[in-house]
Amino acid sequence: MLQNYFPILMFVLVGLLVGLGPIVLGRLLAPHRPDPEKLSPYECGFEAFEDARMKFDVRYYLVAILFILFDLEIAFLFPWAVVLKEIGLFGFVAMLVFLAILVVGFVYEWKKGALEWE
């Protein structure tokens, strides 16, 4: 009866080893020299634990949303490239239309100045 659960136990142990092993090795082997620059907040543009009603720059979120939008749309190119021989000319033309719409959107946001950061 217990021999049926041995593969599950091994799967859990290997998963824990793969997941926690690099963390433990990094903690043991890597130098630990924190300074104010490393401990400062990043990517959001403001302190993490300040007043929730403070004013902040919305441009960061605009650039982030535009990046995610175009990043996800470009991700459609990979499966398309894999099956291009199977879908033939129709798939090729459909992707050209998709890319044309993508380029029009990119040029529009470029002309509107959404990618400019003062």
Q: So where are the chain's domains?
A: 55-118
pLDDT in tens, 56-107: 677 777 878 888 888 888 888 888 889 989 999 999 999 999 989 988 988 9
> What rounded mean pLDDT belongs to the chain?
84
pTM over 0.75: no
How many angstroms separate the CA atoms of 101 and 106, rounded? 9
Nearest partner of 95 among 70, 68, 67, 76, judged by Cα: 76
Look at the block and give the residue holding tokens 């459609």: 76
Asked if CATH classification 1.10.357.10 holds for the domain at 55-118, the reply, yes or no, is no
